[in-house]
Each structure stands twice: as C-alpha cells, then as structure tokens.
Amino acid sequence: MIRPILHFPDKRLREAGKPVTAFDEALRTLVDDMAETMYAAPGVGLAAPQIGVALRLFIVDINTGDDQPSDLRVFANPEIVETHGKIRWEEGCLSFPDIREEVDRAERILVRAHDVSGTPYELEAEGLLAIAIQHEHDHLDGVLMIDHLSMLRRRLVNRAMNRRAVAAE
C-alpha cells in the first residue's frame, strides 16, 4: 500500500524514531508499504518517520533504473559506527519535493543494523549508497537535509516549503 509522505514543515519529521522491537509480520508489511511508497515517489530511500511511523527503520535501493535489478536493503535500528573521508553530494528528499541541495557527508561508512527478520549485519558503503544511508539515518533522529545547509540556503528552502504547504491547503 502506498502511504502518504510527510512534507516539511510537518512537525512529525522532527520526532526521533523509537527502536524496532518486534520483527514480525507487521514489520514486514510496513517495509513492503515503505518500498511501494518509495518506488512510486520515486526515490532511493525512505525512513519510517517520513510516513509518520516513529521507528528507527529505513530502506534504501540505489538501483533505480529499469534495466537494473532491485537491491532493496532494510535497516532496522541502524548505527553508523565508522566514517571516512568527506564528499559533497547533491541530495534530494521525498519530504522536500523538487528541492535539491549540496550536502557534505562522509565518503565511506560502516553501518550496523538488523534486517526485516531481526538478523544483525554490518555493511561497508561508499558513493550513493553511503550518502543514502546517512541521509535516511538522519531522519531517525529528526535531522533533516536543511539542517546541513548554510543559514541562507536553509531560509530559502524553508520559505519555499512553507509556500508549498500553504498552496496545498
């Protein structure tokens, strides 16, 4: 089921997610809904707080081309345990439609998480996968893309999103 994606300035985007404690059918259904929502948007990542579910859960699939097989990854209770290097990357966010901004991130990361069955794993990532993981991980703490911008860029994006919210009412 495709779920509505919250758009900034919705205050629920600032809420920190709670740990996933039940790796059950309800979680699998939530992950399926998140995947359907992300692919329909379309996007390369989606965090549970972006659909109003305050859990430490996100999904990422950087293989978005029609000629590429899906590489959907589930991150429950993730921790970024190592970061290396720095890179500036132009990011978008499903909660900020039509906004793209340059954000500084770690170039390579090591993340620990659990899959949808609760099995723990570690993943080393770089490039777009590392960027997407860091971006979605931020959502779990109520940190948004604009929090990484200069004060001027933040004001401009904030103004644009507030105008969009008023027009949508």
Catalytic residue among 90, 91, 101, 136: 136
- Residues 137, 80 contacting (CB under 8 angstroms): yes
Distances (CA, A) of 147 to 1, 7, 63, 110, 158: 30, 15, 27, 22, 11
Q: Which of 48, 44, 20 is nearest to 32 (CA)?
A: 48
Distances (CA, A) of 72 to 22, 32, 102, 111, 166: 20, 10, 25, 16, 34
Query: Is 25 a catalytic site residue?
Result: no
Supply the residues annotated as catalytic: 136
